[in-house]
Amino acid sequence: MVEYADFYENIQASSETLQCPRCSASVPANPGVCANCGENVFQCHKCRAINYDEKDPFLCHACGFCKYAKFDFTLLAKPCCAVEPIENDEDRKKTVSSINSLLEKADRVYKQLIANKPTLESLVLKITEHRADKKA
């Protein structure tokens, strides 16, 4: 499922005329019936479904087609590590214990990395100063 967090509707951009899905003629929004071919202009241009709740929706409620924008999605999926199923309270306790031990290990490694950071920064600074001295 893809959920769009924000949607900005431009009320000035909403036109009083719509394009007929069959013959592409310009049709007034009221009554919304093409004078040229008699087609309902509020139907989806792709699947011809009509949304009676929303006359001119951004996305078709039946097929998801959008006549105002194009959406391209690229998904990269990788296999996930296999996990033992949690079927009872003992499995749950074992899993919670494993998670806690992994969190503690990650915290220890993080603290070691943070402890090494000042030393590494000073070494990089010395290398940079040494290179600057050679160029001058």
Q: What is the pLDDT of residue 16?
A: 72
105: confidence class by pLDDT, cuts 50, 70, 90:
very high
d(CA 113, CA 131): 26
Q: In the predicted model, is pLDDT for residue 88 greater than 60? A: yes
d(CA 12, CA 20): 21
Q: Between 43 and 1, where is the model more confident? A: 43
Q: What is the pLDDT of residue 13?
A: 52
Q: What is the pLDDT of residue 51?
A: 83
Chain center to CA of 17: 32
CB count, 10 Å around CB of 18? Answer: 19
Across residues 29-49, what is the average pLDDT?
86
